[in-house]
């Protein structure tokens, strides 16, 4: 009897393990038609917001509708690529399938990013770290309310309303599909300061007409309510209030957290998140 129980327990553990991994490895690769439809449905707003010059910088070399652009840049994953991605999927316990879209290497400089619930990749190797980073961006889009309160409580970053970023700054912002809302400001704790929040903005270094690559950028801190602008790497108030030193994290709170979580979801947060997630499944 004891022996039977042990065998049964082992079978159950193996079954759980297999099911757990099957669930976390459910990758769906959109074919070209599906991806184009998805692109138009979820990315038109973004594409239409790009200026002519920014389209050029982002490797969009046709004048046309969002659908035309999708047809030009979207391709399909090879069997080898699908296998590689499946093998790299980091296990997690979110009951959300992994959706993937493949685009050409010139589009968005080949940077992995997300469109709604789909991860967009171009050719080449992709690591589990990158996949988890993009997974965080998908979660940020689907559960923004949870993330807003998390940012406010743990990072001292508030989602601000009624902010009008001056147009001379806004026109130089490098658009990022993973950070559609710019109005997240790092709270300044000092009561004597006239500045209440600092909004980081990733700007092209010069007028867009002279910009050749998406990497020609500088991050500045735009101060609320004083409208002052400082380069963030030397901005003492930013650093004194916990703003990240690494420029890739400084760009936006979504990037800050995605980089912090890309090696694994923090356990304590993960438990809290799971409770929320159970009751608020999209």
**Between residues 54 and 178, which has the closer beta carbon with respect to Zn ion?**
178
Q: How far is Cα 214 from Cα 172, in angstroms, rounded to an integer?
A: 12
Q: How far is Cα 39 from Cα 112, in angstroms, rounded to an integer?
A: 15
Near Zn ion in 160-179, by CB under 5 A:
178
Site string for Zn ion, 226-255 (x = CB under 5 A): -----------------------------x
**Between residues 219 and 258, which has the closer beta carbon with respect to Zn ion?**
258
Near Zn ion in 90-109, by CB under 5 A:
none
Least CB distance to Zn ion at residue 233 (A)? 19
Q: How far is Cα 46 from Cα 34, in angstroms, rounded to an integer?
A: 19
Measure Cα distances from 233 to 197, 244, 249 in Å: 16, 9, 12
Site string for Zn ion, 43-82 (x = CB under 5 A): ----------------------------------------
**Between residues 119 and 224, which has the closer beta carbon with respect to Zn ion?**
119
Residues 6+ apart with CB under 8 A from 37: none
Select the residue interacting with Zn ion from 158, 223, 258, 265 (CB under 5 A).
258
Size of the site for Zn ion (CB under 5 A): 3
**Between residues 136 and 199, which has the closer beta carbon with respect to Zn ion?**
136
**Between residues 24 and 176, which has the closer beta carbon with respect to Zn ion?**
176
Beta strands in the chain (DSSP E): 27-29, 74-75, 98-103, 113-115, 118-121, 157-159, 184-187, 197-204, 217-224, 229-231
Site string for Zn ion, 175-204 (x = CB under 5 A): ---x--------------------------
**Between residues 24 and 179, which has the closer beta carbon with respect to Zn ion?**
179
Longest dimension (CA), the chain: 78
CB under 8 A, 24+ apart: contacts of 187-195: 187/156, 187/157, 187/158, 187/241, 188/237, 188/241, 189/156, 189/241, 190/240, 193/237, 194/225, 194/226, 195/223, 195/224, 195/225, 195/226, 195/228, 195/237
Q: Quick one: which segment of 12-20, 45-53, 67-75, 258-266 binds Zn ion (CB under 5 A)?
A: 258-266
**Between residues 36 and 102, which has the closer beta carbon with respect to Zn ion?**
102
Q: Quick one: which segment of 26-34, 162-170, 202-210, 256-264 binds Zn ion (CB under 5 A)?
A: 256-264
Least CB distance to Zn ion at residue 258 (A)? 5
Query: In this structure, what DSSP letter does residue 188 have?
Result: P
Instruction: List residues binding Zn ion (CB under 5 A).
Output: 178, 255, 258
């Amino acid at each position: 009897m004891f022996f039977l129980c042990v065998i049964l327990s082992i079978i159950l553990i193996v079954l759980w393990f297999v099911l757990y991994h099957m669930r976390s490895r459910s990758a769906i690769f959109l074919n070209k038609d599906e991806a184009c439809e998805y692109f138009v449905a979820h990315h038109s707003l973004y594409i239409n917001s790009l200026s002519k010059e920014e389209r050029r910088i982002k490797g969009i070399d046709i004048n046309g509708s969002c659908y035309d652009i999708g047809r030009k840049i979207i391709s399909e994953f090879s069997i080898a690529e699908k296998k590689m991605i499946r093998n790299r999927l980091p296990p997690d316990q979110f009951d959300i399938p992994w959706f993937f879209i493949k685009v050409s290497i010139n589009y968005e400089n080949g940077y992995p990013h997300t469109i709604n619930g789909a991860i967009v990749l171009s050719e080449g190797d992709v690591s589990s770290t990158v996949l988890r980073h993009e997974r965080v961006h998908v979660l940020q889009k689907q559960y923004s309310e949870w993330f807003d309160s998390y940012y406010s409580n743990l990072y001292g970053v508030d989602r601000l309303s009624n902010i009008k970023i001056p147009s001379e700054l806004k026109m130089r912002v490098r658009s990022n599909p993973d950070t559609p809302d710019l109005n997240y400001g790092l709270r300044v704790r000092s009561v004597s300061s006239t500045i209440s929040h600092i909004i980081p903005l990733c700007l092209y270094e010069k007028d867009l007409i002279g910009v050749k690559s998406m990497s020609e950028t500088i991050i500045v801190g735009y101060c609320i309510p004083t409208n002052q602008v400082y380069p963030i790497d030397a901005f003492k108030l930013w650093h004194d209030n916990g703003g990240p030193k690494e420029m890739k994290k400084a760009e936006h709170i979504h990037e800050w957290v995605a980089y912090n979580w890309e090696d694994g979801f923090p356990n304590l947060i993960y438990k809290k998140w799971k409770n929320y997630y159970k009751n608020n499944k999209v």
